[in-house]
Structure 1
Amino acid sequence: MDLRFVETLLATIDGGSIAAAARAQGITAAAATQRVGALEAELKVSLLQRNGRNMAATPACETILSDLREMLALRAGLEAELAREVLSGTLRLGAISTALGEFGSSIIASLGKSAPDLELKVFPGGSQATYESFTQRTVDMALVVKPPFELPKTVRFDSVVRHPIGLVRPRDAPRDIPFVIYARDSWGGKLCFDALTELHNTPRVLCEMDAVEAIAQLVAEGVGQAVLPWWDGLQRNAEALNFEPIVGHLREVGLVSWQREIEKPVNRLVREALGLC
């Protein structure tokens, strides 16, 4: 089975038309039609049907759709794995924003010096979404808050830094100003909210967001107070802030990677840049 033809079929389903698939793949509509036709002949079933103004998968196609997508994902994973063995190709790194601020420059400098033929693509995001991208193999490694659950044996988490969590207020601000909450449905935010509720059973909440840099800026401007990890970015605003650590509460950030890939050259370079080896 020619995987280029599978790509065209999936592009047609995702884009809703043969024309959309042709544009996405840089081929003619006639060539796209021929590719889908060749797949149908090989599998001996119809794969597309019209659904209103769009093309959609037939019931027969729906039964194998996830397998077809998995075939393409497997090919992409094989290509990436081979590229990482020779320090070329693309490394896809997912990372939370605070980790990028602290470690991004050292990773970029290390890879640029030791692996100039390797293209680094960085995908910022929250810890949970970034970890899910890692498990779905849309990123190769991830810098995230330590997952709040036991990891499968195939996955490893290497701690890079532990940030103390504490109460952050504008200098000389009263203690009863409202709180800007680090989103409780995020991994880091839950750690901070647990620490906050040790101080206040019912804190007065001004707003809630999953953006620690923005929260730090709001606190520095006197809008409210917050419970946050004491990371490098927050320390740069230290002159405008009071930070009181909450004993026993930490946010741990580290590198998530595949156990079987630990000795691959690109993995070693990233780990060295993070001080893990």
Structure 2
Amino acid sequence: MDTHFLDSFVTVADCGSIAEAARRMNLTPAAVAQRLRAIERELGQTLVTRSGRNIQVTPAGLAVLDAARALVSGARDLRAIAAQGVPAGKLRLGATATALTGLLPGIIAALRGRHPEVEYFVRPGASVDLYHLALSGELDAALIVRPHFAIPKSVGWTVLRREPLVCIAPADSPDDDPHLLLQRLPFIRYDRNQWGGKIVDDYLRDHDLTVREVLELDALDAIAAMVHRGLGASILPDWAPPWPEGLRLRKTVLHDSPQREIGILWRRSGARLAAVEALVQVATSAFAGRPVTASGSASATGRSAESPPRG
């Protein structure tokens, strides 16, 4: 039985959608559906049924789901176990949207140069979701925002980047104090349900700033694009470049602000521990302790930004 096909079944069951499972596995929906049919023929049972655009796992599928999950996990561990302490096997990583573009490519490129036997599966998501997936063992490591509560000792944590808050406004805004701009212009809020959004909310509260909120979004690049279009102002962490191309923003560092800490969270045990530790070592060497200047470049640091911000 092909464990890749079993993995497709498990992923479809977890996602509730063939399209979403295909996106996560970097396959076409047709390829995922073909794998499902092959597993069903081999087992002689229907494992999933369609309900509109969603997928429902049948009683037969539920009966074998835990065993299928264990087989997939065991097969994934075999390569790492056979390597006898040498970094190898397939790492399951999570990353927030900004870490996915600003940090993870450099980390994987460096790790691949040192340890070509390591393979990767990357799952994007919000910090809170990736945190719980790492704790449950579904992910080996995750690049996330530091939570506002104590991290269990069963996992490791190291900070890779500290990001100050910046006030962003349309490029043609008056060169006023950022607090005046925030109170004068409509406010586009970074989602308070996100850990980074909570930092922004705390800043507004600590400085007794009353804003006229018109939107609340969880995508930082979308907020920056809204501001570029003249729809309002916002406070965002100065995330790792790249920022979207073509934006014209007035960007001011809030020097008295708390910082959003981006770090790597990893499991301290498991068959792929050697590969995980190699990943952490590479990430720490590349980013930890590096001073973070506002914007990460000279193109839009604490002044009116007529050119696209790069950080």
TM over 0.5: yes
- RMSD over aligned CA atoms reads 4.1
Judging changes above 3 Å, is the alpha-carbon distance between structure 1 residues 99 and 136 closer, same or farther for their aligned structure 2 residues?
Answer: same
The answer to whether residue 122 in structure 2 is matched with residue 122 in structure 1 is yes
1:250 maps onto 2:249 in alignment: no
1:188 equivalent in structure 2: 196
Helix, strand or coil for the counterpart of 1:161? strand
Query: Do the aligned partners of 2:158 and 2:263 also contact (CA within 8 Å) in 1?
Result: yes
Spell out, residue by residue over 1:232-266, the C-alpha distance to the aligned partner (whole angstroms, 9 max, x if none). Answer: 33878897322131514110110000124697245
2:81 aligned partner:
82
Query: Aligned partners of 2:244 and 2:33: how far apart in 1?
Result: 50
Q: Distance in 2 between matches of 1:25 and 1:194?
A: 48
Match of 1:155 in 2: 155
> How many equivalent residue pairs?
251
Alignment partner, residue 206 of structure 1: 214
2:303 maps to none
Sort the Cα spacing of 1:110 and 1:72 in 2 relative to 1 into closer, same or farther, 3 A.
Answer: same
Cα 1:239/1:31, change in 2 over 3 Å: closer
The reply on whether 1:259 has 2:257 as its aligned counterpart is no
How big is the shift at 1:215? 1.1
Q: Which amino acid aligns with 1:267?
A: E
Quick check: 1:142–1:257 contact (8 Å CA) kept in 2? yes
Contact 2:87 2:275 in 1 (8 A): yes
Unaligned stretches of 5+ in structure 1? 16-20, 37-47, 49-53
Matching residue of 1:168: 168
**Residue matched to 2:293:** none
1:119-172, Cα deviation, whole Å (9 max, x unpaired): 222222111112122223332110000022222221121111111123222334
Deviation at 1:110, TM superposition (A): 0.9
2:59 match = 57
C-alpha separation between the residues in 2 aligned to 1:179 and 1:234? Answer: 24
Give the secondary-structure state (helix, strand or coil) at the position aligned to 2:103.
helix
Larger mean Cα displacement after TM superposition, 164-173 or 137-146:
164-173
Question: CA, structure 1 residues 28+57, in 2 after alignment: closer, same or farther (shift >3 Å)?
Answer: closer
In the aligned structure 2, how far is the partner of 1:77 from the partner of 1:96? 24
Q: Which residue of 1 aligns with 2:43?
A: 32
With structure 1 as the length reference, what TM-score do the two structures score? 0.71
Identical pairs, percent: 30
Moved more, 65-74 or 263-272: 65-74
Query: Structure 2: 5+ residue runs without aligned partners?
Result: 17-31, 48-55, 175-180, 290-311
Give the 3 Å change call, closer, same or farther, for CA 178–81 of structure 1 in structure 2.
Answer: farther
**Which structure features the higher share of helix residues?**
1
Match of 2:299 in 1: none
**1:181–1:209 contact (8 Å) kept in structure 2:** yes
Question: Which stretch of the first structure deviates more once superposed, 83-92 or 197-206?
Answer: 83-92
Contact 1:182-1:212 within 8 A present in 2 as well:
yes
* Higher Cα Rg, which structure: 1
Q: Check conservation: 1:193, 1:227, Cα contact below 8 A.
A: no
